[in-house]
Structure 1
């Protein structure tokens, strides 16, 4: 079975005793910190960028009255700071109380907008954080309003992404040709930008932003891929790390091939948990008495959609395996979404209607189902960033071995992940250096949060990242879903809020039970 192109290159795809405060910080009597002015050293040749004046203005088209916007100039190529520059688009949600500093945020992706998080700060963060911090959301380079990567017009991109390919040599050749067409279109449209959208470049941009906003240390909250960006920042600038939380960690010490394997296993485990819930619920459309039997039935439904695509409410769009898989995966990110997956599967299996699965697929790739237009460039940016960070370098033998273990350990999702990274194999650019592992020697304590039932960034990645970091502190939530803060309850939330607000460091190894 052949994956849809939308799946290619899409990895990454978000209380115990407290002992001390972050070392090296000047704290007031209430534990807060006076941000003062930036005194961190400026990399040679970048003085103009680090010392630029920032002017905040009212945000255009923002529905938040408490926000301001600006643009911060950075070099396109940090090896040529006198050359071309780009603008990083930033949105600040002002603290509802007296701000003790700026909290930079990234929601993941790669390709997701940090500006959207800041604009919806009251949804993402608890009162103690939004009262005490200006929330700084930015679109990383290549994303959204920051020199966005573009590949092809929406109508052309949509047609290619919706295509299905038979499990034949001809189907493989057709898929490869379409992949090459997208890659060449990205090159033709975005040009030299594609060489400079790495996580390393984005982390360097964050240090420019930190200094330009007058912060001596960078306080940062990263979810999912945002943990990768935060970890990379800490590796490059350990002395500039203030209070940092990385929730839903990506492991920077493993290869792209291993990442795809562990992510597939994570989704398989989450699917098993969902199927057990579905069977116990008593109104489950999946046939079988056990989770394994029900998953085998589902596998048959997905495979059948290749020859018999499911019609949808959109006349010219139907559900084939790639869309089926992505629709399922989208709902596995949060346990609260499981009832919606049951409804989607009921529509598909019992009524032959793939409309809800199509909507979930489009939610994942940032597409408006009714109009067919893409709401942002998150998918194209994800391709570009992943392929520059993780160039495909696995040989045929390694790919074959990975495919074998995928079918053994993740039988449902194996067809979605097998075959190696075909998309990035066609990508023409590679970085001089790639992320990871992250040590951040000498940094302040960095809080790493892992969720035992996380499908997208499996728990083992958080354990690994916390061990790699010189001063990593691991928090564990024994729940289901992607990322813990805001979902896990007071055990995790209080630890994070207290750390950011007054610098108290939670107990390393703190484990919080499922709700």
Structure 2
């Protein structure tokens, strides 16, 4: 522990003189709207969007630009950074156009550049034609400048085992502490300015650069926190707002992760029950307990005999195996492939489906992706426990009832134990909805990533909002999966502002999608050959058009 304490001391030294993320302008802390404090930077000059073709051969009309914004909105004349923005322009006659709608998929930190073409392509053409569809990369991520990278190899396999009983806790503590130190050493000038409030102010910089008084907004997952924060700061600039799969406005990020652990356990149990009913396909047992045992058997086997992850670096051990499976809690269309992985390994002694699934779902990209932004947001917007003994005891109690995901999620967030920029105990910006038009909320009752409680809490925080609930639904970000009950409600709101007319807590209830058909996912000959030679398509091959894609979660987790 002496080495760990030295790292902590170094981190503390790096933090001296840094602005605390939790400190907000006085008006923002009180939750006031766009008064002088909220718009303090409006005299700083206007960024320009110089649009040019994105070079997208599938969507020729898509345009891209870089927008210069202040690093620190409290000092708008100081250092600047750039946000990458794209747009699919409106094509309706000018008199029918309804202005820009800004889009964010969550993360925190995930790219939204894919969203204009994707979402506009899934709604009626006449409504799509009335809007300018605007995507962007949040500050410090992806195509924005700079793109923050703390440790390009942080997620390379084979990582230490997640399970505390395997004696890897110190390895993870050292790994998380070093990651935080590396972030602070290389990026101390930007990390304190990568909060949700900063990104909300970037949204308003985009609005002003677009030359419009009002914007509409669609956000999913963390994007719901971003949207509600923007609405709190700039309510008079909101025309319409849709929040899908909602982060509760007051819960701490640490407590939110505990809710996730428990909901992921329920989804894993649902997967086991679904697989057991399909014993004729997968031959893994006829009851859910047998399937859970099968999962644990593979997990244990990989501790002593990991599987090659090629072409991804390293091997697939327990940590990589568990990462391959947790995404099934976000999107149950992954269940057939997940069950195939277990069946192939245990029944047919075939590791190719595991290799393919890992490369498809969990293998790392060329660097640490959105993870610096994820930590900059989550670690610094609330006061996190800094004592490992507290984490160990508290998380053991959660693991006792939710063993599928607890330690995986704990180590993913462990950098917050050491993060140099600590948040205020007051937490995130209070959300009151003062001055906002009616906001349309979508929430599934079985969402593992943003549990149902968050939707209820946001509805309570936003007077006049309308809550649409998919009762029994489990997709994370529930729009655009082919459910007409949900999608038609979204389209009606965009078309003319129409809202569900139901009274009470829930304005409209929609039925869940049917479970996927149980099929053994046999790789095509070409894919099987690539798996055998270690040339399977790497992570990132899963496009937003793929039904197994996890929106708002393949880059980060909230």
TM-score by length of 1: 0.82
2:553 equivalent in structure 1: none
**Contact 1:323 1:357 (8 Å CA) reproduced:** no
Distance change >3 Å, CA 362–CA 426, structure 1 → 2? farther
Q: Contact between 2:199 and 2:226, CA under 8 Å: does it hold in 1?
A: yes
The change in CA–CA distance for 1:485 and 1:396 in structure 2 (over 3 A counts) is: same
SS of 2:347's partner is: helix
Distance in 1, matches of 2:294 and 2:206, equals 51
Work out which of the residue numbers 405, 421, 430 in structure 2 matches 1:429.
421
- Which range is displaced more, 393-402 or 406-415? 393-402
CA 1:69–1:218 in structure 2 vs 1: closer, same or farther (change >3 Å)?
Answer: same
Q: 114, 117, 120: which is aligned to 1:116?
A: 114
Q: Does the aligned pair in 1 maintain the 2:262–2:401 contact within 8 Å?
A: yes
Distance 1:352 1:239, change over 3 A: farther
| Corresponding position of 1:191 | 188
Farther-moved stretch of structure 1 (483-492 vs 296-305): 296-305
Confirm whether residue 455 of structure 1 aligns to residue 448 of structure 2.
yes
Deviation at 1:169, TM superposition (A): 8.9
1:473 maps to which residue?
Answer: 466
2:171 maps to which residue?
174
Residues 172 and 454 of structure 1, relative CA distance in 2, 3 Å threshold: same
Q: Secondary structure at the match of 1:403?
A: helix
Q: Which residue of 1 aligns with 2:79?
A: 84
Name the structure 2 match of 1:95: 90
Shift of 1:77: 0.7
SS in 2 for 1:480: coil
When residues 427 and 266 of structure 1 are mapped into structure 2, their CA distance, relative to the original with a 3 A threshold, is same
> Partners of 2:231 and 2:459 in 1: how far apart?
13
Secondary structure of 1:115's counterpart equals: coil
Counterpart of 2:201 in structure 1 is 204
The residue aligned with 1:415 is 407
The farther-off stretch of 129-138 and 431-440 is 431-440
2:328 alignment partner in structure 1: 331
CA positional deviation for 1:309: 2.2
> Is the contact between residue 92 and residue 137 of structure 1 (CA under 8 Å) also seen in structure 2?
yes
Per-residue deviation at 1:506?
1.6
Give the equivalent residue in structure 1 for 2:139. Answer: 141
- Does structure 1 conserve the Cα–Cα contact (< 8 Å) formed by 2:247 and 2:450? yes
Alpha-carbon distance, 1:254 to partner = 1.1
After superposition, the C-alpha distances for 1:399-453 in whole angstroms (9 at most, x for unaligned) are: 3564244234323223323579421111112356742442222211111111122
Residues 171 and 276 (structure 1 numbering): CA distance in 2 closer, same or farther, change over 3 Å? closer
Q: What is residue 491 of structure 1 aligned with on the other side? A: 485
Q: Find the counterpart in structure 2 of residue 67 from structure 1.
A: 62
Tell me the residue number matched to 2:398: 406
State the distance in 2 between where 1:445 and 1:193 align: 35
Pair 1:322-2:316 in alignment: no
Asked if 1:340 is matched to 2:337, the reply is yes
* 1:233 positional shift: 1.0
Shift of 1:362: 5.1
Secondary structure of the residue aligned to 1:261 is helix
SS at 1:183 equivalent? helix
RMSD: 3.0
1:47 and 2:39 matched: no
Offset from partner CA, 1:4-46 (integer Å, 9 cap, x none): xxxxxxxxxxxxxxxxxxxxxxxxxxxxxxxxxxxx8775542
- Give the structure 1 partner of residue 232 of structure 2: 235
User: Structure 2 CA distance, aligned partners of 1:129 and 1:52?
Assistant: 29
Structure 2 equivalent of residue 27 of structure 1: none
Dislocated runs of 4+, deviation >6 Å: none
Following TM superposition, by how much is the alpha carbon of 1:504 offset from its aligned partner in structure 2, in angstroms?
0.8
1:506 alignment partner, SS class? coil
Q: 1:388, CA displacement in angstroms?
A: 2.8
Counterparts of 1:162 and 1:123 in 2: how far apart (Å)?
Answer: 39
Q: Distance in 2 between matches of 1:161 and 1:81?
A: 44
Deviations 1:145-203 (A, max 9, x none): 2234433564x435477444785796322222222232222223333111111111000
- Residue correspondences, number: 470
1:366-417: CA deviation from partner (whole Å, max 9, x where unpaired): 735xxxx34x822343233322334523656753564244234323223323
Match of 1:511 among 494, 509, 516: 509
In the superposition, the TM-score normalised over structure 2's length comes to 0.76
Q: Taking structure 1 as reference, are residues 109 and 123 closer, same or farther at Cα in structure 2, changes over 3 Å only?
A: farther
| 3-state SS of 2:255 partner | helix
Task: Choose 316-325 or 69-78, whichever is displaced more.
Answer: 316-325
TM-fit CA distance, 1:61 = 5.6
Q: How far apart in 2 are the matches of 1:170 and 1:514?
A: 41
Taking structure 1 as reference, are residues 327 and 357 closer, same or farther at Cα in structure 2, changes over 3 Å only? farther
SS at match of 1:248: strand
Q: 1:47 to 1:260 in 2, by over 3 A?
A: closer
The unaligned stretches of length 5 or more in structure 1 are 1-39
